[in-house]
Structure formats: structure tokens, C-alpha cells
Amino acid sequence: MAALPPLFQNWFAAKGWRLRPHQAAMLTAAAAGADALLIAPTGAGKTLAGFLPSLIALSARPSPGLHTLYVSPLKALGTDIARNLQAPAAEMGLEIGIETRSGDTPANRRARQRQAPPHILLTTPESLLLLLSQENAGAYFASLAAVVVDEIHALAGTKRGDQLALCLARLRTLSATRVAGLSATVAHPEALRRYVGPAARLIRAEDGAPPEVRLALPEADIPWSGHMGLRAAGLVLERLAQAGMSIVFVNTRAQAELLFAAIWKLNEDNLPIAIHHGSLDIAQRRKVEAAMAAGRLRAVIATSSLDLGIDWGGVDQVLQIGAPKGVSRLLQRLGRANHRLDEPSRAILVPANRFEVLECEAAIEGVREKALDGDPPRPGGLDVLAQHMLGMAVAAPFRPDDLYREVTAAAPYAELSRRDFDDVLRFVEDGGYALAGYERYRRLFRDSQGYVHPANERVARQFRFNIGTIVEAPMIRLRLAGRRGGAGAHLGEVEEYFVNQLTPGDSFIFAGRVLRFLRLRETVAEVVEAPGREPKVPAYAGARMPLTTNLAARVRAMLHDPSRWGAFPAQVQEWLDLQRRRSRLPGPDGLLVESFPREGRWYLVVYAFEGRNAHQTLGLLLTRRMERAGQAPLGFVASDYVLAIWSARRPERIAELLREDMLGDDLEEWMETSSLLRRTFRQVAVVAGLIPRQLPGAERSRRQVTVNSDLIYDVLRKHQPDHVLLRATRADAAHGLIDLARIAALLRRARGRITHMALSRVSPLAVPVLLDIGRERVEGEAEEALLEEARALAAEAAAEEGQGSDFNHGPAAPNMLFQPP
Amino acid sequence: MTAAPLHFRNERLMLDPSGAAFWPARRVLMVADLHLETGTAHAARGALLPPYDTRATLERLTRLLRLYRPARLLALGDSFHDAGGPARLAREDRARIEALGREAQFIWVAGNHDAAPHDLPGQCVAEHREGPFTFRHEARLELGPREIEISGHFHPKASIESRAKRISRPCFVAGPNRLILPAFGSLTGGLDVREPPIARLFPRGLRVFLLGQDQLYSFALEQLGRLPEVA
């Protein structure tokens, strides 16, 4: 076991600490120059374990030059860690330069950092790529001895993680650095270990005290449906009053707003309770975080915007309102409370409906068994690779063979074929289009020795401008209209599609106030406060994450086994019992499908338990098939648990409808036109550098000349369907919005084991999803039908009005516009 | 594809769901804002957009020429995305335009993106007058008392509140004495008809014809999503 140098021994002794085994193991790995992945719960001294080897090395010989690079997903984390490192360095009298670098770092400090790097530099994946694309990157990183990647579990498996993996591969080319990854407990530790390095050591800290998680329900009836949990406002307020400081996690921004409003209606003692989500103005979010850190707040209602972040120490309890969605996610959130290892974190789950009661119980069981979930890592994105290649060319000319070797050393790209690599390179060079005469517009050129260079200075500028893998949906800024039309305060941003749903005069809740929408001016939506109005439910949900496979399997298993119902409230037990008598209970294997007539329609309910995204896709595919079978489907709604389709005729031959060949031609045909693919393409095209990032505040009136990614997608799909960006789009969508893998798994599981219950009326388990009808927006595919309906309605209305129209054409009435030929 | 008839005085125009219009009496087919060579215009500035837009636009144009067999084809300006467009045409695309030029006489009205004349078949003109119509690129605010104007330029689009969501499409815009065509190009965006540059041209109201897959959807201005107003 590695021994601490005397200086550090004394410092540990002065603090009353001793070296923990995992910290010692990290020291040993570092001494051997080995990569290492440390998996440890919060409060285990993870950060110190990561930095200790560097601090010791730097205390012995503080030569100039960059020694250690720290990368984390959050800028704020870097700033916080820098502060925490200054303290031991000062206490031990170490002369170590510690600095942060991010997009916010002032230009003069960035310039100085380029000339005279600190010993320890704390940064983000994006800033790291920017540094690596500088011409002097080779000299800058030559002295690098260690890279510490914090919260590595939150990066690996995402596009940012792909980008970071490529950067790590480059750092290993430029220096002899080792890599230390710091992670929370994960479902796939071996995959994460490979992400750190092929020979990385896996070091696990002892687990802390197990968390105490309990279910809490309001005394009234347990709702059949709904996801907001507003009825629990009183209960939540009670719990907040009993604890020092709490974080109340919810699932969507809309839920955060509504719950915040509901709690404040009851908050007669004026407990200081704040709200935090990704749409709020950044300055306001920082203010809330500062107030939390200073202990001035009793609670904050937050979305995933607070899943990661700096330690606040003083948080006593975490509440989760609504479905936890996954065990890993729940554990991440629980970890935000009580950062002391020997004391349990305390959490309360508040389900918003009956299915969520099952889900919460399943999640509590999952937490107890430490059954983490999460998808195994998927292959690295080709769009990310394109961005990286451009950056590497900007840094220094490269030979494709060398870069291929380097790139495939990064775990997400280990299986990358040379064909894909070459296609991406051709895309970066000249677009990779199968059309002669386009080469003159190349971004890169090859010299006689086969080195690839950027074509001109503009290429480097465009690269720096487009760096990063997070593509936000187009956003609209919200501004209070000042008096006499002047500009008022800036409140934050909402997705453009949300504003598109509003008509002037509509009210919605934002930042805890009721606002009325006035008008859209360029990229700014003007609003006024409208207290006391009944708000339209805000729909700026952001990405809703689907229920994980692991948790879904647990819910199915619990549901099927009455001996495990003991934990459920009586109402839920009665509900399940009624389902068992009236129909069947969905089982751990196979697939339960029910059909029944109701109010002149037929309903088909598929208990698939594969999450919303997969159910949406399944709904679109299944309705196509029913259409062809003459069953006249009329619509569908998807929840995390089930899919319900209604039709004019009786659904029949269910097993045939659900055959696996659904994922063949039907899928191809649908993917051709799906708006989901267009949305995915836009992100891929931005990351790959095909279309520039949308600048905040870009002029709206210039839209008519700016190019629309949907149109590019259509043209490309028609003329070069195998283009590398379309391949990247399909791969992305299959893992994300379309969730093909889960549908494939479901259809496999169901083959030959479909139980079809033909019922005479709605079953108890089907009630919640039927109540969702009308509340859920279906991803619109049938625009033509909707337009025809709107046109017919308008024509009907106009006909009743008679002659009240605006102008006349020709000799007759306004209808002359549609005179038959 | 079902074209919709639109009458101006005694003349009948057929609005095609592709965004073109046909004047049967004179066998004139008209299109606006082809924006050919948009891809290469961006590529020359470093954004390597797919180069297929010209081909896609010409294919759609070819289908229309086969369908309507016009004597003349009127391109209402911005036929190219920029002045360098004609010179950047790929050889096959230039040959395609020349072949189409043998089937119908081309009249290229100048636009703001392509003001200069070029060497493609047909004649380049600033405006074109025929029958009661004046064909120009950008609509004029003031028209002569008997003038009926047909123009392009604005890439008009409109959105409709349907039961499920707002749907936005390129559209024709018609008023008592003018018609604005939607952009025919493959990569062209659009401007909402309620925005002042378009709305002020129709002080007596307007009717839009949204492009659909096989037909047009017609609405009066007040049937579109309500106009935002400061309360």
C-alpha cells in the first residue's frame, strides 16, 4: 500500500483524517502510471482520491508546465473544486498554480494560460477540445502527467462523452498521461472501466450507509392519472417544514412551475422556497444556488438542472414528486442529500398516480438491492467524430492512417470501421456528396505526402464557433413588456415550439408567475403578468425521460405477484385485484393485450412497459398496420407503461399485427417521413458542422434566406440516402427518440406469447391511459388530414356567415375562389 | 394533384399544389424564387450543404412542364441564389435547363439575388406585361388602377391552428389585384403572411392557399392563427 509523504501525513493527522483504502489504491495505481476508475458513493473523499497523487507529485518537484487536467461536465463544479484544492495546497505550503478555464474565462486570462499554463487546470470537454485544436497543443500538453475526469458516469455514453473520449485519445498521443475517472455507482462498471482505458484498474470504495427511502401519499384518493402530483402540495410543504433544507425533484419544467405555485398557495409561514430549472435566466439560477449554499433557503423545487452540481452539504432530505423513472437516476438524486458517508441520505417518494405507486415501490426495492439501470454504452456518434476531425486538422496536419489509429483507441470508437472513418473524413473534407464538381468547395486538402490540412483560416474560425455536442432546441426569450411598449425584464427562455402553441391572450406559468402572452417579436416573446388567471398548462417539458427497462421489469414482476402487493396502499391493491378478476395481470414474460368497445369505438391496449418513446413508435407502426388491415384506427396515446389505440372497427388477429416484421418495411417507410428523424437530423447536422449553430437573437426576418434543416434532410434523403450524416441520424434515433432496441426486445419477448383478452368493457388497468387521451399530444404525422379538417371547418363557418367576407373576386360570391373548373 | 382555379377579372389562373401557377388562356406557366445553386452558394462560404437542390428543383420543374405543356415559362426572379449561380451550374443541370428551354420559351424576370442577365436560353427582362397582368419579382405597394400584379420575392408561408397543433406551410397569397407565389426552390424558407412586409400589400384582406401534398388548402386571413396584439 502506498505511503503518504510526511508533509501529507501531518496534514491528514492535523485534520483528524486517515487515508482510506480506495485513496491508497488510487495512489498505488498512479505510482505505477496506471489508469484507474474509482467508483465511490458521495461523501467518500472521491475528489481528494483523484487529486492526491498529483498534489504529492507537485509537492516534490514543482517544475513549470501543465501537470494535471481536471475535466467535469459542469463549469460550476470546476470552480468549486478549484476552491477546495486551494485550501490543502495553502495549508501544506505547496506552491501550485490552480486555475479554471471555460467559455466564461476572460480573454486575457485565457491568453496568459496559453503562454504560462498552471500546474492544475480545471475545465470542461468543450474547452478541452478548443485547447487541443490550438496550433501549440503539442507543446502545451507535452508535460501532462494526469487527467482527472469527474462525474465520468454522466459523460460516458453521451455525445459529450464521445467527444471527451476522442480528446483523451489525443492527449495520450501528445503526452504520457494517465487517466483517473471518478464515478458514482453504475450499472456497467466494466464498460466504464474500458472507457477510462483498456488496462485501467477498477477501484471501488466501500458503500456508505444505505439510503432511507419512503413512500408518502396524500390522504385523499390516489389519482388514476396525471403526472404533476399537485394534490400532494400540502404533504410536501409539511415535510419541508420538518426538515432543515430540502431539494424537491420533479420530472419536467412544467411540473416544477405548477408544483411551485401550488405550494406557495399554501405557504402561510412564508418558508423560503425557490425554483430552479433549465429555462430560467442563468443569473436567477445562480442566485438560487448561492442562496442554497449560504443556507438561506429551506427548499428548492428543481428539475434535472440540479441532478449534478457542487456539494451543498446542508441538504437534509430529498423529495421526488412523480415517477422516479429509473433506479440510477433516483440514486443520483438521493445522493444530493447529506454528503456524509456514515449517515444515510433520507428521501421521500411521492407518486402522482396509481401506476407511479407501483413504480415508486419498485424503485425503492431497486435501491435496496442496488440494482442500477442504464443502457450499455452505444457506439460513438459519427457527427461527433466529424467535429473532432476538423479540430484535429485545425491543430496540425495529420495522416488519416494515424488519426484512425488514435480514434479507434477511444473506447466508443473501438469498433469504428475504416469505411465509416473514411466517409466521415470525406464529409469533413468536401461534404462527401456523390456529385462531381463539388470538390472545389473543400474545407480540407491533402498534400503530396498525404497529410490533411485545413483549406483556409475560415475553416478554423467556423470550427471554433461550432464546437460542442449539445444542440438546444430553438429558444425564444421571454420578456415582460414595459410601459408604453418599452423593454421590460428578461425572464428566461422557452422552446420555440411551446410559443408556437400559444395564441395571444393565453396564460401560462413561468418562474412562478402567471404570464399572459402578448406577441412575438423576432426571437422575443412579450408577456405581461396576469395574476389570478387560470393558466394554460405550460408544455415546455423539455426532454421527458422514459422509464428504464430495469425498472419496468420490476414493475411487471411486482404487478404479477399478489404476494408482493403488501407494500401497496389498500386502494392500489383493490385496483389490481379487480384487474385480476376482470381481465389478467400483465406478467413478467409475454405480452398482455386487451380490446374492448366503448362509446362507439374499439380500444386496443398493449401492456408493453417499454417507456414512452418506444410506445410512441410502436403506436405509429401499429396504426399503419391496422389501417392496411381495414380496422380504421383513429388515434393513439402512449404512456410509460402502455399503448392505447382506438379504432372504428374491431381490432383482430392481434398476434399478426404484432409480428416482428413490423420493424422491416413499415419502419423504413415511416422513418422516411417521420418528424422525429428530422429533429434528430438537425442535431446531427449542427454537431457535424453542416449547418451553423443558431446564434441567440439571430434575426427572425432573415429566415427566408437561412436554410432550413428539414429541407436539407429531404433533399439529401432523396438524392443520397446512404450519406454518412443520414446513417448517423438513423443510429441516433434508434437509440433515442424512436427507441427501436426496446421495441425489438418487446416483439421478441412477445412472439408466440401474446395473451389477447377480448373484454366487453374497459379494464381497471386501462383506465389511467384512457384518461390521458386528449391530454397527451401525439407526435403529429397526419398533417394533411388536420389541414383538410381545418379547411372544412373554416369553409363551414364562412358559409354560415354569408357575405361578410373581405373582398370579392369576379362576378359572383367569395366562393368564386373555389369555383369548380 | 388538384389545381385550384383563381379568377382575376376575366382571366383564370390554375394554382398548382407544387407552388407554380398556370394561365391556360396564354399557356404560361409561372414559378417564383427557384433559388438555384443555393447549395454551392453556401459551400463557397464554407458550409458544405448538399449540392442536390438545383437538381431537385429542376426535376420538379420538368414534371410541371410535362403536365401543363406551356408555351412559355415565367421565372419571377431570384431564379438563382446569387449572381454567380449560373456559372456554378453543374454540366448536367445546365444541359437540363437547355433541354427545357427547347420545350418552352423561358422568360427570366430579374430578382434581387440575380439582377444581372445570364446566358441561359430565353430572355432576361426586368418586368413582363401580358394581358391584364404585370409580372415582377417584388410587389409594389402602389398599383395602377387597372393593374393586376403577379410576383414572388417574399417566400410567403402561413400557419393554421389545427385541432392538434399549428401547421405552417408555404402558400400563395391572393388579394383583389395581386397574387404572390410561394418560393419554388428546394431549400427556401419563408416569411409569414401576417408579417408587415407582406400584410401591408393587402389592405383589403387576403386569402392564402397552403401547399398540400395533392391539393391546396384555402383560408381567409382572419382564419389564420390570430394576429398577436398588445392588450
Instruction: Copy the grid coordinates of residue B158.
Output: 402561413
Q: Which of A567-581, A683-697, B148-162 has the lowest mean pLDDT?
A: A683-697
Whole-Å CA distances, A515 to A368, A504, A506, A660, B229: 43, 11, 8, 48, 15
Q: Between A149 and A313, whose confidence is greater?
A: A149
Q: Which residue has the cell 502527467?
A: A145
Give A817's pLDDT tier (boundaries 50, 70, 90).
Answer: very low
Considering only CB atoms, A520 lies closest to which of B14, B189, B228, namely: B228
Q: Cell digits for A675?
A: 418528424
**CB distance from A16 to chain B under 8 Å?**
no
The CA distance from A383 to A403, in Å, is 16
Higher-scoring residue by pLDDT: A419, A217: A419
C-alpha–C-alpha distance, residues B188 and A708, integer Å = 7
Interface test with A, best of B162, B191, B215 (most A CBs within 10 A): B162
Q: Is the Cβ of B219 closer than 8 Å to some Cβ of chain A?
A: yes
What is the model's pLDDT at position B129?
A: 96
pLDDT of A473 > 90? The answer is no
Which residue among B164, B190, B191 places its CB closest to the CB of A777?
A: B164
Sheet holding A643-647, edge to edge: A633-638, A643-647, A601-607, A591-598, A754-758
Question: What's residue B113's pLDDT?
Answer: 87
User: Is the pLDDT reported for residue B228 higher than 70?
Assistant: no
Q: What's this model's pTM, rounded to 2 decimal places?
A: 0.83
Cβ–Cβ under 8 Å, residues A528 and A513: no
Q: Cell digits for A266?
A: 399554501
Q: Is the pLDDT of residue B163 over 70?
A: no
> Looking up cell 430529498, which residue turns up?
A318
* ipTM of this complex prediction, to 2 decimal places: 0.80
In chain B, which residues have their Cβ closer than 8 Å to the Cβ of A438? 40, 43, 51
Cβ-Cβ contacts under 8 Å, A821 against chain B: 5, 14
Sorting pLDDT into bands at 50, 70 and 90, what band is A91? very high
Task: Inform me whether the C-beta atom of residue A775 falls under 8 Å from chain B C-beta atoms.
Answer: no
pLDDT of residue A106: 86
Report the range of poorest mean pLDDT among A309-318, A595-604, B113-122: A309-318
Touching A: B residues 150-209, CB under 8 Å: 154-155, 159-167, 169, 174-176, 183, 186-191, 195, 204-207
pLDDT of residue A801: 45
Q: Rounded to whole angstroms, how far apart are CA atoms A794 and A400?
A: 60
Using DSSP, how many helices (H) and how many strands (E) does chain A show? Answer: 31, 25
Confidence check: pLDDT of A543 > 60:
no
pLDDT in tens, B134-161: 999 999 999 998 999 999 999 999 988 7
Handedness of CA B45, B51, B53, B57 (dihedral sign): positive
Q: For residue B4, what is the nearest residue in chain A, using CA coordinates?
A: A818
CB contact under 8 A, B56 and A715: yes
- Average pLDDT of A329-337? 85
Q: Which residue of A has its CA nearest to B208?
A: A817
Does residue A534 surpass a pLDDT of 70? Answer: no
B94 at the A interface (CB within 8 A)?
no
Please tell me the predicted confidence (pLDDT) of residue A124. Answer: 93
Does residue B162 surpass a pLDDT of 90? no
A783 vs B167: CB contact, 8 Å cut-off?
yes
| Predicted local distance difference test score (pLDDT) of residue A707 | 63
What is the mean predicted confidence (pLDDT) over A791-802? 65
Domains of chain B, CATH where assigned: 4-223 (3.60.21)
Contact flag B210-A787 (C-beta cutoff 8 Å): yes
Average of per-residue pLDDT across A258-273: 91
What confidence score (pLDDT) does residue A526 get?
A: 86
Measured between CA atoms, the residue of chain A closest to residue B88 is A437
Model confidence pLDDT, tens digit, residues B46-73: 788 888 999 999 999 999 999 999 999 9
Query: What value does the mean pLDDT take over residues A251-266?
Result: 88
Determine the distance in angstroms separating the CA of A148 from the nearest CA of chain B, rounded to an integer: 36
Instruction: Tell me the C-alpha distance between A3 and A19, whole Å.
Output: 9
Amino acid at A195: Y
Query: In this structure, are residues B210 and B160 in contact, taking their beta carbons and an 8 Å threshold?
Result: yes
Q: Is a pLDDT exceeding 60 seen at residue A555?
A: yes
pLDDT category of residue A738 using cuts at 50, 70 and 90? confident
Contact residues on chain B for A784, CB-CB shorter than 8 A: 212-213
**Residue from A439, A806, A815 to probe the interface with B (highest B Cβ count within 10 Å):** A806
Instruction: Please give the residue of chain B at the shortest CA–CA distance from A700.
Output: B191
Whether A723 has its CB under 8 Å from any CB of chain B: the answer is: yes
Q: Which of the residues B49, B78, B91, B195 would you substitute to probe the A interface, choosing the one with the greatest number of A C-beta atoms within 10 Å?
A: B49
pLDDT for A446 beyond 60 = yes
- Of A248 and A46, the structure prediction assigns the larger pLDDT to A248
Query: What per-residue confidence (pLDDT) applies to A487?
Result: 67
**Chain A closest-CA separation from residue B191 CA (Å):** 6
Query: B225 to chain A: nearest residue by CA?
Result: A503
Give the best residue of A786, A800, A805, A808 to mutate against chain B (max B CB count within 10 A): A786
- Report percent pLDDT > 90 for chain A: 40
Q: List, for residues A334-381, the tens digit of each pLDDT value.
A: 888 866 667 788 899 999 888 899 999 999 999 888 888 877 788 999
User: Which tens digits make up the pLDDT trace of A751-788?
Assistant: 889 999 999 999 999 998 888 775 544 444 467 777 77
Q: What is the pLDDT of residue A172?
A: 97
Q: Quick one: pLDDT at residue A33?
A: 95
pLDDT at A339: 62
Q: Is it the case that residue A732 has pLDDT exceeding 90?
A: no
Q: What is the mean pLDDT of chain A?
A: 84
Q: Which residue has the higher pLDDT, A690 or A339?
A: A690
Q: Can you tell me the mean pLDDT for A625-636?
A: 85
The mean-pLDDT minimum among A43-52, A533-542, A636-645, B85-94 falls in A533-542
Residues A238-265, mean pLDDT to the nearest whole number? 90
Mean pLDDT of A265-285: 88
> Considering only CB atoms, which chain A residues are within 8 Å of B14?
821
State the average pLDDT over residues A642-669.
Answer: 86
Q: What is the 3-state secondary structure (H, E, C) of A292-309?
A: HHCCCCCEEEECHHHCCC
Distance, CA of A610 to chain centre: 18
**For A415-431, what is the mean pLDDT?**
95
Residue A75 vs residues A126, A290, B204: alpha-carbon distances, Å: 10, 15, 56
A427: chain B residues, CB-CB within 8 Å: 48
* Chain A CB within 8 Å of residue B102 CB: no
Spatial CB neighbours of A627, under 8 Å, sequence gap ≥ 6? A633
Report the residue from B44, B51, B213 with minimal CB separation from A435: B51
**A486 band by pLDDT with thresholds 50, 70 and 90:** low
Number of inter-chain CB pairs under 8 A, A vs B: 187
Q: Which residue, among A347, A330, A329, has the nearest Cα to A216 in the 3D structure?
A: A347
pLDDT at A430 over 70: yes
DSSP category for residue A353? S
- pLDDT for position A788: 79
Retrieve residue A606's grid coordinates.
398493449
Higher confidence at residue B227 or residue A568? A568
A143 CB near a chain B CB, below 8 Å?
Answer: no
Find the closest chain B residue to A431 by CA distance. B48
User: What is the reported pLDDT for B92?
Assistant: 92
Q: Rounded mean pLDDT of chain B?
A: 90
344-363 of A, contacting B, C-beta below 8 A: none
Grid coordinates given for A242: 420538518
**Contact call for B46 and A458, based on CB within 8 A:** yes
pLDDT > 80? residue A42: no
The reported pLDDT for the residue numbered A586 is 92
Of B165, B220, B231, nearest to A501 by CB-CB distance is: B165
Cell numbers 416484421 correspond to A661
SS3 assignment for chain B:
CCCEEEEECCEEEEECCCCCEEECCCCEEEEECCCECHHHHHHCCCCCCCCCHHHHHHHHHHHHHHHHCCCEEEECCCCECCCCHHHHCCHHHHHHHHHHHHHCEEEEECCCCCCCCCCCCCEEECCEEECCEEECCCCCCCCCCCCEEEECCCCEEEEEECCCCEEEEEEEEECCCEEECCECCCCCCCEECCCHHHHCCCCCCCEEEEECCCCEEEEEHHHCCCCCCCC
Question: pLDDT at position A548, please?
Answer: 86
Q: Euclidean distance between the first and final Cα of chain A, in Å?
A: 93
Residue B189 to residue A708, Cβ atoms within 8 A: yes
More confident residue, A605 or A798: A605
pLDDT at A35: 97
Q: What is the pLDDT of residue B11?
A: 95
Interface test with B, best of A389, A506, A675, A707 (most B CBs within 10 A): A707
B52, B172, B193: best mutation site toward chain A, by most A Cβ within 10 Å?
A: B52
pLDDT band at A75 (very low <50, low <70, confident <90, very high): confident
* B58 min Cα distance to partner chain A (Å): 12
To the nearest whole angstrom, how far is the Cα of A151 from the nearest Cα of chain B? 35
For A129-156, give the DSSP string: HHHHTSTTHHHHHTT--EEEETTHHHHT
